[in-house]
Chain A
Amino acid sequence: NAGVTQTPKFRVLKTGQSMTLLCAQDMNHEYMYWYRQDPGMGLRLIHYSVGEGTTAKGEVPDGYNVSRLKKQNFLLGLESAAPSQTSVYFCASSSAGLLSFRPQHFGDGTRLSIL
């Protein structure tokens, strides 16, 4: 029972390089989210999606792009990496409960360092 899987787990980039973080969930959840966590901080929402083909900005979207071409996958892209984007990135998913709140399920994170 995989749940939410993030790829890769670790990555080191040079300033200006681009990369894509992949999130895959096998729970048939409608909603997916990307967060970043910095030292001494809570998780901050970057972008989210309420369904296949839809995306929306969260609290800290600048410098990131996302795509959700398939329901089970949510991709986070860094077009030109900056040292300020050094962080741990978490993907999460949740179902769209109509009668009761559904908690988010998280992956184990991608630790990204930008030199």
Chain B
Amino acid sequence: DQQVKQNSPSLSVQEGRISILNCDYTNSMFDYFLWYKKYPAEGPTFLISISSIKDKNEDGRFTVFLNKSAKHLSLHIVPSQPGDSAVYFCAASFAYSGAGSYQLTFGKGTKLSVIP
């Protein structure tokens, strides 16, 4: 039973336009969400995160939105650049539940292609 779902395996966007990557989760106890970016033959790199007490977090071209009632988060990249072409993973955690280990549950990823 997949607790974190990225229903779009791939997405193509024109350079300069907005990229929107979506993620849904089923466990309402998740309280921290992260996005990781992964290039081929490299490990995932942390991109941006959001706590469940917020509904938006921004870092430069990257913004993450959280809709707790819908159990949905999205990553917006504006403007998109060819270097953004990578696989993006959504991850969720019970960061403040007292588990202490900060285990992450990952989605399957969305491959973003930014076309010059």
A4 to B44, CA, bound (A): 12
Chain B interface residue count, CB cutoff 8 Å, equals 28
Task: Determine if A82 is an interface residue (Cβ-Cβ < 8 Å).
Answer: no
Inter-subunit contact B32/A101 (CB<8 Å): yes
Contact A31 to B102, CB < 8 A, known contacts A4-B43, A42-B89, A103-B49: yes
A56 to B102, CA, bound (A): 13
- A-B residue pair count with CB separations less than 8 angstroms: 59
Among B12-20, B76-84, B93-101, which stretch is in contact with chain A? B93-101
- Residues of chain A with a CB closer than 8 A to B43's CB: 4, 90, 92, 106-109
Task: Determine if A15 is an interface residue (Cβ-Cβ < 8 Å).
Answer: no
Chain A interface residue count, CB cutoff 8 Å, equals 26
Task: Determine if A20 is an interface residue (Cβ-Cβ < 8 Å).
Answer: no
A103 — nearest CB in chain B belongs to which residue? B46
- Residues of chain A with a CB closer than 8 A to B41's CB: 108-109
Across the interface, B95 reaches (CB within 8 A) one of A42, A56, A101, A107, namely: A101
Contact A40 to B34, CB < 8 A, known contacts A48-B103, A106-B45: no
A44 to B34, CA, bound (A): 15
Question: What are the interface flags for B1-45 relative to A under an 8 Å C-beta threshold, 1 for contact and 0 otherwise?
Answer: 000101001000000000000000000000010101000011111
Inter-subunit contact B103/A45 (CB<8 Å): yes
B50 — nearest CB in chain A belongs to which residue? A101
**Which of A43, A90, A94 is packed against the most chain B CB atoms within 10 Å?**
A43
- Residues of chain A with a CB closer than 8 A to B51's CB: 101
5 residue pairs from A and B, CB less than 8 Å apart: A48-B101, A56-B101, A104-B102, A106-B43, A107-B43
Report A's interface with B, CB cutoff 8 A: 4, 31, 33, 40-45, 48, 50, 56, 58, 90, 92, 94, 96, 101-109
